[in-house]
Amino acid sequence: MKIISCVVFSILTINCNRNTSNKDQQFTSLGGASSSYKTIGEIPTRQGYKRIIEERNFFGAWLRKINLKKDERIYLFNGKLRDDQSTHFAVLDIPVGDKDLQQCADAIMRLRAEYFLNQDNIDSICFKATDGTDCLLQSGWRVNATFKRSQARSL
């Protein structure tokens, strides 16, 4: 799970303060422009690596089915092009709204929550705050350090 999250995180998001080398130099071993791939699962692995086989209903398998945009440029929430276009390979075809609400870690949290919603498993949508507090989705986010997941389901 950790490996898959890191791979998706690097494909779909950016390191907010990192200025990397040219995208074409960084990904030459992948064999072409990312716009030729329709889903994450179609992106080939780098030479010497192989993709882990995921069971059909696992998070990694779900991620591999997410569509990619044909336009591989990153646009900001306000519709403007992001200045640095060298920090990514492909862009997921998912709506992000028109407000600056989704950044770095938010992206993977959103994907994980959408996966559980897609699996009709809303009780599994839980993230830990930096202080260890469970943040549960139960008719909106409910945060309370004294609740365990099993207790929060009955609310």
| Least confident range of 17-31, 47-61, 75-89 | 17-31
Q: Residue 65 — very low, low, confident or very high, per pLDDT cuts 50/70/90? A: very high
pLDDT at 28 over 60: no
Do 24 and 54 lie in a common domain?
Answer: yes
Do 88 and 146 lie in a common domain?
Answer: no
Do 95 and 154 lie in a common domain?
Answer: no
Do 87 and 136 lie in a common domain?
Answer: no
Do 134 and 66 lie in a common domain?
Answer: no
Q: Identify the pLDDT of residue 31.
A: 44
Instruction: Provide the whole-model pTM.
Output: 0.64
Do 25 and 73 lie in a common domain?
Answer: yes
Q: Identify the pLDDT of residue 131.
A: 85
Q: Identify the pLDDT of residue 147.
A: 45
Do 69 and 138 lie in a common domain?
Answer: no
Q: Identify the pLDDT of residue 138.
A: 62
Do 108 and 127 lie in a common domain?
Answer: no
Do 26 and 79 lie in a common domain?
Answer: yes
Do 100 and 147 lie in a common domain?
Answer: no
pLDDT at 2 over 50: no
Q: Give me the domain span that covers residue 147.
A: 122-155
Q: How are strands ordered across the β-sheet holding 134-137?
A: 126-128, 134-137, 141-143
Do 44 and 97 lie in a common domain?
Answer: yes
The domain tally of the chain equals: 2
Burial bucket for residue 84 (CB in 10 Å: 0-12, 13-18, 19+): exposed
Do 15 and 74 lie in a common domain?
Answer: yes
Give the model confidence (pLDDT) of 117-154 as tens digits.
899 888 888 888 888 888 876 655 555 444 444 444 44
pLDDT at 155 over 60: no
| Per-residue tokens: 153 | 């389901």
The mean pLDDT value of the chain amounts to 74
Percent of the chain with pLDDT over 90: 33
Q: What is the DSSP string of the chain?
A: -HHHHHHHHHHH---TT---S-HHHHTGGG-S-GGG-SBGGGSPPPTT--PPP--TTSHHHHHHT-BB-SS-S-B-TTSPBPS---S-S--B-----SSS---HHHHHHHHHHHHHHHTT-GGG-EEE-TTS-EEEESSSEEE-TT--HHHHHT-
